[in-house]
Amino acid sequence: MDLRKLFLNIGHAEGVSYLLLLLVAMPLKYFMGLPEAVKLAGTIHGVLFVAFVVLLAGLHTKQKLKITTMVTLFLLSIVPFGTFFLERYLPKTSVQN
């Protein structure tokens, strides 16, 4: 499997889960009294975030990414909508796992 493509797919999923956590689950918790929404969305987001970081480390190992590229990609995972711009900052080289 192409590690770059997997990283981008997990990155997009992580970004969507982050937005769902911020824009759906948290309002449900604080305005509707449903803390379960944050627990579920937070767990899913946490798993995807860990996978994102592990894949970022794998890309660094395989592609020898510059530290500035790695920091940029990591910071994009923290900023809402940031992971939708990962491809812009990730080198085009394909990596086979």
For residue 95, pLDDT over 90 is answered with no
Q: How confident is the model at residue 63 (pLDDT cuts 50, 70, 90)?
A: confident
Residue 97 lies in a domain: no
pLDDT over 70 percentage in the chain:
94
Q: How far is CA 63 from CA 10, 30, 84, 97, in A?
A: 18, 43, 21, 11
Residue 39 lies in a domain: yes
Cα distance between residue 82 and residue 74, in whole Å:
9
| Domain total of the chain | 1
For the chain, give the secondary structure using H, E and C.
CEHHHHHHHHHHHHHHHHHHHHHHHHHHHHHHCCHHHHHHHHHHHHHHHHHHHHHHHHHHHHHCCCHHHHHHHHHHHHCCCHHHHHHHHCCCCCCEC
pLDDT over 90 percentage in the chain:
82
Residue 25 lies in a domain: yes
Residue 37 lies in a domain: yes
Q: Which residue segment(s) compose the domain that 74 sits in?
A: 3-84
Residue 91 lies in a domain: no
**Predicted TM-score (pTM) of this structure:** 0.89
For residue 88, pLDDT over 70 is answered with yes
Residue 94 lies in a domain: no
Residue 17 lies in a domain: yes
Q: How many Cβ atoms are within 10 Å of 44's Cβ, its own excluded? A: 17
